[in-house]
Amino acid sequence: MEDDDPKVVPIKLRKCARCEKPVVHEFRPFCSRRCANLDLGNWFDETYRVPVEDADGLDDALNDEDLDAT
Ligand SMILES: [Zn+2]
């Protein structure tokens, strides 16, 4: 039985996290220094933002209450 897991992708097939061009090893997970810098800029702008997962949890709790009320 062969264990051919499609989730395992060779690093050279990775795409740039910003523009989806092929990743360059030196700048991974980006294709170029420009993309890396752009992403770093975003990251610093959004430092200390509340994680999205927390907002989802709140939504779920509110939805549950709505269902109970109806
Ligand atoms: Zn890129």
At 42-56, the pLDDT tens digits run 766 666 565 656 555
- What's the confidence (pLDDT) of residue 65? 64
Q: Is residue 2 one of the residues assigned to a domain?
A: no
**Residue 3 per-residue DSSP state:** -
The CATH code of the domain that includes 40 is: 3.30.50
Domain count across the chain: 1
Q: Is residue 5 one of the residues assigned to a domain?
A: no
Rg (the chain; Cα; Å)? 19
Q: Distance, CA 32 to ligand 1 centroid (Å)?
A: 6
- What's the confidence (pLDDT) of residue 41? 79
Task: Tell me whether residue 4 is exposed, middle or buried, using C-beta atoms within 10 angstroms of its C-beta: 0 to 12, 13 to 18, 19 or more.
Answer: exposed
Q: Distance, CA 36 to ligand 1 centroid (Å)?
A: 8
With tokens 């997962």, the residue in question is 53
Q: pTM above the 0.85 mark?
A: no
Position 8, amino acid = V
Backbone angles phi, psi at 51, to 5 degrees: -55, 145
Q: Distance, CA 30 to ligand 1 centroid (Å)?
A: 5
Q: Is residue 4 one of the residues assigned to a domain?
A: no
Look up the domain containing 29 and give its range. Answer: 11-69
Profile the chain (70 residues) by mean pLDDT over runs of 10 residues.
Answer: 65 80 91 90 64 59 63
Q: Distance, CA 63 to ligand 1 centroid (Å)?
A: 38
